[in-house]
Amino acid sequence: MKTMKLPLRWNSLFTKLLLGFLSIIALLLSFNVLSFAFFKTNVQQEIIRHNRLNLNNTAHNYDNHFQLVESVILRFYFNDRMGAFRNAGNVYKSSTIDQFRTEMNTLLSNPMLYLDNIIFYSGGSSYVLEKDGTGSPEDMFGKYYVSPDYDLAFWNKQLSESYSFRIFPASAFKEIRYDNTEVPKGTLLPVVIKNKFNPDLSIIALLGADKLFQAFHYSGKDAFYILDADGRTLFRSFPDRGAVPADLIFPADAGFVTRHNDYYFYQKGEAGLIYVNVIPNVAIASQVSRLNWLLIGLLCAAVVIGALISVRLSFKFNRPIRNMIAAMQRANPQQPKPAPSNIHEFDWISDNISHMIETNDAYQNDLHAKNRLLQNYGYINKIKRIYQKNDLHDLIKTDAPFYLIVFQIVFARKFHTLTAEEQGKAAYYIKEYIDRHIAEPFAGSVTLQMEKDQILSLVFADVPAPELLKQLQLLKEVLDRDREFCFLTIAVMPERRDSAALAAAYEQAVALTRQRLLNEATQIITEPKEERIELAFTASREQELLAALQAGQPAKANELIRRLQNQLDAREAGAREYERLAKEVVTIVTKALLANNLDIGALFDARSPYEHIRSCTSREHFDAFFEQIVSEAIRLILDRKAAHDPISDFVMNYLDNHYGEELTVELVAEKLNLSRAYLSTYFREKTGTTFSDYLNGVRISRAKELLRHKDVQIKAIAAEVGYLNVNSFIRMFKSVSGLTPNEYRRTLMTSES
């Protein structure tokens, strides 16, 4: 029996498949032609945009690095040893010098800072301090760091200049050795950091200019410049290239200007610097030309390959269909086509398709759940500025305005009495309830668990802010029913934000949660208020509390703390300011314990006092915390004082009674028939402080009492407490207390008024 032949006709499967593929190719071809025309006119703008983004990233990296260098160098000005170093004058104090060298070399060993050296240079000093030790200014800037732009006269001039941070033009530095050979040190970028409290001291940080350029600029082939606010060139990537034209004007914060055959891309930084990248117009034109030829080649290749694939696929699709038809004709050529329900193969196919649909539904449900998790993960990554791939980025909404709400959970003390399992369930139910409460009136909202105690909701619905606040008020009324276990701080900015501001909106909302008032109720915060960051304890108040602790007077200490709490209540301070006050008290108590060679760990049974602070949610909790830490600290101090040591007691009593005389370790050791070295080591082991530090502490403490009397002169006070030289007294007073005697007296007058 012959099978039926299927001739090639217009209505044949092969012809229709081939025509269909060719139609798709024609459609794609027209799309590619239009795309080519579009890209041909827009590729140059895209290249320009790419260069602007690249320069913006470079400027951001440079600005951040200059700020980082300024911050790490400024720490030296506030180092406890700075006073000792500066008071040394022209006398070397090896211990202080070694400590500063250790700290400097720790910074210099960090390759991410790109520091070549740090130089301390003080006016009137006969030596400078750098990573290899000390030396004369003449040797430092005339032998070891020689530059035609920066001689000793230049650095001396900077000591009289009034500024705190300045970047100078990069220059080639070299070292001139003893045999007059020159060793290049490379191109260095000098940065000078000064402090108004130390106007005669300059700290010079020498940055590797070429290393910074290689690390922060991702297109090393371009001519790159850094200009200051006056247009002076601080750095250029190619020293043989000319400077930026002086008459070139940069009108905006970022953009580009053209001059002759060059594009000048510029970005103004935060510190007044201007970053310029110069790209010849011919370079951009060549990139456009190369891209045009590439697109033409791809278009031709796509047409040829598409036509070949169309013919081949047409044959591949047509052949099995012809074979199936032939097989069916061979199997029963005379029988008419049976009904679908009577064909076993169709039933088998139908059953398998039904099974595939059921399996697909299960897969879809599982995929939906996993996509939901990935969507939450995508939002969290975007909020916290974590890089994510495009496929994850596609799961989240990136073009819809939104309201952002942060729910900060404060767990009350009763919550911590629950078991770990009960705590986990309670936290989960809080998140689920917030999710349902927000999702019901505002379809499409997303609720995320950001932290154990923090929940975030994104509301994409186009609703007025009062409607949103109304729903949050209803939520507050429900949550307040369980306030004995937990209460929330609900932070929301009542304005819709663009998707690009997602991370910034989150940071602003988190900042709002820190304005929480000290009470045990759910609060809704919608407007930021100016935060007053100030220390509750002035120098005089700190001394008063330390004196009460040392004297074993808990009532006096607690009364001082209560006065500060009342001041916070009077200005309606938030919970964060109470926490700051508590941390200051912990710091002062720690000082008192360390002064008596005691460990603060004994206060709370090995539990950190900061854990206690975090658990305080009311004024009563803070009252109990302060009473406990004060009473326990005084108990430990009195117990330590009760354990008498005859030698240490004699030394301290003698110094307390004869502090106004000229005292030395040898003099006191002689009275005890002991050697100087033995008494010095013994006293330090027993008291935790040195002989000289204790004596200076007694003298400065007595001087602070005398400074309360306005009519007593500084010179008379210095002589009264044992300092024959008033300048030595002023330096020691500032080294111990951080203030000069006159500044301390003004502080006393201000606090008492």
Measured CA angle at 214 (ends 211, 220), to 5 deg = 145
In this predicted structure, the answer to whether residue 604 has a pLDDT above a threshold of 50 is yes
E runs forming strands in 281-330: none
Closest residue by Cα to residue 172 from 216, 218, 209: 209
Q: What is the CA radius of gyration of the chain?
A: 39
**Phi and psi torsions of 418, nearest 5°:** -75, 160
pLDDT digits (tens, 9 = 90+) for 653-687: 898 889 988 889 999 899 888 889 888 888 887 77
Rounded mean pLDDT, 695-710: 86
- pLDDT computed for residue 99 by the predictor: 79
Digit-coded pLDDT (tens) for 467-481: 989 989 998 888 888
pLDDT attached to residue 338: 47
How many whole angstroms separate alpha carbon 582 and alpha carbon 625? Answer: 9
- In the prediction, which pLDDT does 687 show? 74
The most confident of the ranges 166-175, 315-324, 646-655, 729-738 is: 166-175
160, with CB counted inside 10 A (0-12, 13-18, 19+), is: exposed
Torsion on CA atoms 37, 39, 43, 45, rounded to nearest 10: 90
Token representation of residue 104: 């400097």
Whether the predicted pLDDT of 91 surpasses 50: no
| pLDDT, position 153 | 87
268 contact partners, CB below 8 Å, separation of at least 6: 59, 250, 253, 254, 274, 275
pLDDT computed for residue 727 by the predictor = 92
> Residue 679: CB partners within 8 Å, gap ≥ 6?
647, 651, 665, 668, 669, 672, 691
Which range has the worst mean pLDDT, 277-286, 410-419, 572-581? 277-286
3-state secondary structure of 511: helix
Residue 296 has pLDDT above 70, yes or no: yes
> What's residue 424's pLDDT?
82
**Does the structure show a pLDDT above 50 at 4?**
no
Query: What is the tens place of the pLDDT at every residue in 511-542?
Result: 888 888 888 889 899 888 876 656 677 777 88
Contacts of 324 (CB under 8 A, 6+ apart): none
Distances (CA, A) of 198 to 77, 467, 533: 8, 57, 24
Which of the four pLDDT bands, split at 50, 70 and 90, describes residue 2? very low
Whose structure tokens read 């009289």? 160
pLDDT tens digits for 326-371? 655 565 555 554 445 444 544 555 566 667 767 777 777 776 666 6
List, for residues 424-462, the tens digit of each pLDDT value.
888 888 889 899 988 889 888 889 888 888 899 989 888
What's the gap between Cα 427 and its chain centre? 29
DSSP H helices in 78-192: 82-87, 94-108, 137-139, 152-160
CA angle 189, 193, 197 (to 5 degrees): 170
Question: Could you tell me the CA-to-CA distances from 651 to 206, 593, 667, 680, 721 in Å, in that order?
Answer: 48, 20, 11, 10, 17
Residue 173 CA from chain centroid, whole number: 34
Confirm if 633 and 592 have CB atoms less than 8 A apart. Answer: yes
Computed over every residue of the chain, the mean pLDDT equals 80
pLDDT at res. 342:
47
pTM: 0.42
Which pLDDT score is estimated for 1?
42
pLDDT band at 388 (very low <50, low <70, confident <90, very high): low
Nearest to 117, CA basis, from 129, 131, 102 = 131
* Mean pLDDT (whole number) for 385-390: 62
Q: What is the mean pLDDT of residues 14-24?
A: 71
Tell me, letter by letter, the H, E, C secondary structure of 172-198.
EEEEECCCCCEEEEEEEEEEEEEECCE
Q: pLDDT class for 3, splitting at 50, 70, 90?
A: very low
